[in-house]
Structure 1
């Protein structure tokens, strides 16, 4: 079922959301100081392509640099990526088949707003990843 949802997701919106993240990543990699934002954006592009079966785990030890980076990310890139997820989620929820996809799109809003200090892991390893920190 997870594979079927991922394929439908990829066709309907995953590819375009991943393109948005990739564009943000390329723009961020232009300057040396913003390369961590570019790397985070490429990780999220991968997540946007194939989201079912994976989840986001926050690192409670993420420090001030992560906080400052997330604020900068929110100002320059996060808000428009989050708007993309919200608009896509609303559009997907208009059909019965699209409701699980719309919910997945809404679940991606927090990581699109605050990507630093988070890790994308397989869902079956989410408890283990949180425990190892």
Structure 2
């Protein structure tokens, strides 16, 4: 079932979200200070490409730096990416088949707003952390 949902997701918005994250990551990597944010964008972009079967968990070792980084992320790229998830989710919820995809989009909004201090893990091991 995860594969079917991922293929439908890919066709009905996953590629566009993935490209948005890749563009944001490339723009953020232009400066040395932005490289950690760009890496976070690339990581979430891969999650946005193939989300079913993965989940987001909090990292145990996240500290004050990730909190400050999340505030910068929110200003630089987070709200644009969250807006993309909102628009895509609403459009997907118009059809009955798209409702699970729209819900998945809405679940990705928190990680698109504040990605630092989060980790993407397979759903069969949601408590795994590095």
Instruction: Tell me, yes or no, whether TM beats 0.5.
Output: yes
Superposed counterparts of 1:76-95, under 5 Å: 76-95=76-95
Query: Aligned-pair distance for 1:117?
Result: 0.4
| Residue of structure 2 in register with 1:38 after alignment | 38
SS in 2 for 1:52: coil
Dislocated runs of 4+, deviation >3 Å: none
Structure 1: tracts of 5 or more residues without a match: none
| Residue of structure 2 in register with 1:100 after alignment | 100
Residues 34-91 of structure 1, C-alpha deviations (whole Å, 9 max, x = no match):
1000000000110010000000011143111100100000011000100110111111
Counterparts of 1:69 and 1:15, CA distance in 2: 26
SS in 2 for 1:18: helix
Give the total of aligned pairs.
130
| Residue of structure 2 in register with 1:73 after alignment | 73
Residues 72-113 of structure 1, C-alpha deviations (whole Å, 9 max, x = no match):
000110001001101111110111000000000001000000
Counterparts of 1:84 and 1:60, CA distance in 2: 29
The answer to which of 102-111 and 52-61 deviates more is 52-61
| Residue of structure 1 in register with 2:119 after alignment | 119
SS in 2 for 1:57: strand
TM-score, with normalisation over the residues of structure 1? 0.95
